[in-house]
Amino acid sequence: MEIFAAVYFLVGLAGASIVYRHPDRFMMLFLSAIIVGSGMLVFGYPIVDEFFVLMLLLGVFLRYSVSRKISVFKVMSKRKISPHGVTFIALIAYFLFQSIRGGIWLEDIRMVRWVVFFLIIGVSYFLTFLL
């Protein structure tokens, strides 16, 4: 089982390096990671898709922080969030709150998966908003 975890880790690092070198491939790899990684389990926990997406986001943030000349972000100062965007952010905040509350109420560490999941969705929304 440790071999599979090592392979997942290496695939995640490869994805981060691809996004670091070619940021235009982020969305393709993002969707692929969600689709392909959704059914895999590590030690009985379905966390592979979240891990792959976190590694892709790591590649994007490394690209942004290391090389500011070729920035992934094109911040638009006059761009405003639409009412749909506000509703989406409110929904993600509500789901995040309910996941944290449910983890405390149920006293179950597996609820951390949902907290990470909704954090990834929120960060991905802001990332695509700024691209």
Q: Mean pLDDT by 10-residue block, N- to C-terminus, for the chain (131 residues)?
A: 77 87 82 76 70 83 69 53 87 92 84 84 77 57
The predicted pLDDT at position 48 comes to 73
**Residue spans per domain, the chain:** 1-72, 73-131
The predicted pLDDT at position 75 comes to 47
Secondary structure letter of residue 82 according to DSSP? -
The predicted pLDDT at position 76 comes to 43
> In the structure encoding, which two tokens stand for residue 65, read together?
């922080």
Which of 10, 16, 39 lies closest to 29 in space, CA to CA? 16
The predicted pLDDT at position 130 comes to 63
The predicted pLDDT at position 90 comes to 93
